[in-house]
Amino acid sequence: MKRSLLTGGILFSGIIGLYAFNVVSQAAISGTVTPPEGATAVWAVNGSDSVAGTFSNGSFSISVKPGTYKLFIDAKAPYKDVSLENIQVSDTAATNVGEIKLEK
């Protein structure tokens, strides 16, 4: 009985160890907002899934799964909110939407 428990424990630990080193890769949507102080939030929506991102000096990057996304940028007054549609994200490549200029 002790031997089968020990063998089972070693086997279980080995399987868990293999998954511990499995790299989970995700794609991303990135870009910049001008002026950098004009935006407050950014998020990507795919169907009923949504993922929020953060800004760093006007730049953002959102880790997402492959698919087609709609990107929303929430702007501070006097700037207007922006939305971009049909952003195609595939595999593990980052999709750069470029510079997004906020309008007043």
pLDDT score of 30 more than 80: yes
- Predicted TM-score (pTM) of this structure: 0.72
User: How does pLDDT run across 40-86, given as a tens digit for each residue?
Assistant: 999 999 998 899 998 999 999 999 999 999 999 999 999 999 999 99
Residues 6 or more apart whose Cβ sits within 8 Å of residue 86: 68, 70
- The CA-atom distances, in angstroms, between 60 and each of 23, 56, 99 are 23, 6, 11
Domain chopping of the chain, boundaries: 26-101
Please tell me the CATH superfamily of domain 26-101, with its number.
Carboxypeptidase-like, regulatory domain (2.60.40.1120)
Element (H, E) at 4: helix 2-20
Residue 57 three-state SS: coil
**What local confidence, expressed as pLDDT, does residue 92 receive?**
73
